[in-house]
């Protein structure tokens, strides 16, 4: 039998015997194993805010949806690479000419559209939940600067805001972070709270969080902001309300004198003016 005849035989069998059911079965088994394995992995640090459980569940759902899609696609890719590979250096055959397949196109547009739409709605609900306005919210102003975070606690009755380079928060009290940047883009990220927002020069961004577990957690800058970016790490301490109050009073006393000398009042007047309306 000549090589040409052999090839002709192969071509016929290629068209007849695409083992769709077998690939689906392999893809499904791999998906079950894959989902089981990724859910075993502990992806996150401690949960230290009320937003954390919702974000973690969302992440698990994203994994459960995307792992099977990835593995089913890879099953077809691996099958195609092996089945339709060139047989030897002289093999220059083309695949069969195919002119569209309306049913297939409708399927591959509709299914992804439905999946991403549902995930978008779910993500929006989780985000909306976090951004809900809560009574007794405390505002903390955050300023990113190469390469450190600075914090301000506005005080009632037009009193001087308390400035600090440490972030201390009372447990179970809702906080609204108002975030600004002094120089370039930064991103204010507290992994244990599962919340992050860019700090953008010229505008104030914000997010809300309710820390619900006492302890010390990392604050990191999540936007490459210059040579010292990786050192732009601080700590947030979540403490009991009474401890927070005494800390704040202490900072108020100590910070009062330092703020006058070092930073002057012009910057403060500006931020007060912005906060007024």
Interface residue list for Cu ion (CB under 5 A): 186, 221, 225, 232
Nearest distance, CB of residue 164 and Cu ion, angstroms: 18
Evaluate whether 215 touches 181 at the Cβ level (below 8 Å). Answer: no
- Which C-beta is closer to Cu ion: that of 186 or that of 194? 186
- Which C-beta is closer to Cu ion: that of 35 or that of 232? 232
Question: How many helices (H) and strands (E) are present in the chain, helices listed first?
Answer: 6, 10
- Which C-beta is closer to Cu ion: that of 228 or that of 275? 228
Nearest distance, CB of residue 153 and Cu ion, angstroms: 21
Nearest distance, CB of residue 221 and Cu ion, angstroms: 3
Within 10 A of 196 (CB to CB), how many other CB atoms are there?
Answer: 14
Longest dimension (CA), the chain: 97
Nearest distance, CB of residue 225 and Cu ion, angstroms: 3
- Which C-beta is closer to Cu ion: that of 168 or that of 221? 221
Kindly write down the DSSP assignment for every residue of 90-149, as one continuous string: T--PPPPP----HHHHHHHHHHHHHHHHHHHHHHHHHHHHHT---TTPEEEEEEEETTEE
The CA distance from 1 to 268, in Å, is 90
- Which C-beta is closer to Cu ion: that of 55 or that of 142? 142
- Which C-beta is closer to Cu ion: that of 179 or that of 232? 232
Query: Nearest-CA neighbor of 213 among 19, 64, 48?
Result: 48
Nearest distance, CB of residue 223 and Cu ion, angstroms: 6
Judged by DSSP in three states, 152 sits in strand
Nearest distance, CB of residue 193 and Cu ion, angstroms: 18
Q: State the sign of the Cα–Cα–Cα–Cα dihedral 206, 150, 169, 257.
A: negative
């Amino acid at each position: 039998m000549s090589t040409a005849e052999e090839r002709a035989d192969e071509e016929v069998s290629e068209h007849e015997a695409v083992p769709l059911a077998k690939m689906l079965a392999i893809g499904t088994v791999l998906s079950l194993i894959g989902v089981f394995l990724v859910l075993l992995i502990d992806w996150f640090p401690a949960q230290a805010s009320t937003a954390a459980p919702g974000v973690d569940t969302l992440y698990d759902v994203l994994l459960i949806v995307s792992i099977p899609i990835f593995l089913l696609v890879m099953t077809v890719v691996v099958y195609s690479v092996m089945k339709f590979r060139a047989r030897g250096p002289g093999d220059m055959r083309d695949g069969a000419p195919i002119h569209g397949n309306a049913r297939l196109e409708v399927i591959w547009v509709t299914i992804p559209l439905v999946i991403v739409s549902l995930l978008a709605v779910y993500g929006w609900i989780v985000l909306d939940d976090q951004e809900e306005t809560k009574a007794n919210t405390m505002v903390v102003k955050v300023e990113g600067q190469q390469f450190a975070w600075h914090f301000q606690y506005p005080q009632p009755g037009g009193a001087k805001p308390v400035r600090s380079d440490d972030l201390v928060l009372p447990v179970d009290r809702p906080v609204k972070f108002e975030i600004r940047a002094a120089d370039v883009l930064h991103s204010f990220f507290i992994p244990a709270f599962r919340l992050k927002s860019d700090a953008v020069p010229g505008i104030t961004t914000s997010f809300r969080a309710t820390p619900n577990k006492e302890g010390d957690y990392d604050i990191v800058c999540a936007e490459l902001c210059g040579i010292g970016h990786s050192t732009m790490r601080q700590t947030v301490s979540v403490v009991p309300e009474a401890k927070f109050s005494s800390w704040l009073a202490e900072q108020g006393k100590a910070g009062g004198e330092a703020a006058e000398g070092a930073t002057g009042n012009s910057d403060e007047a500006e931020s007060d003016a912005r906060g007024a309306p």
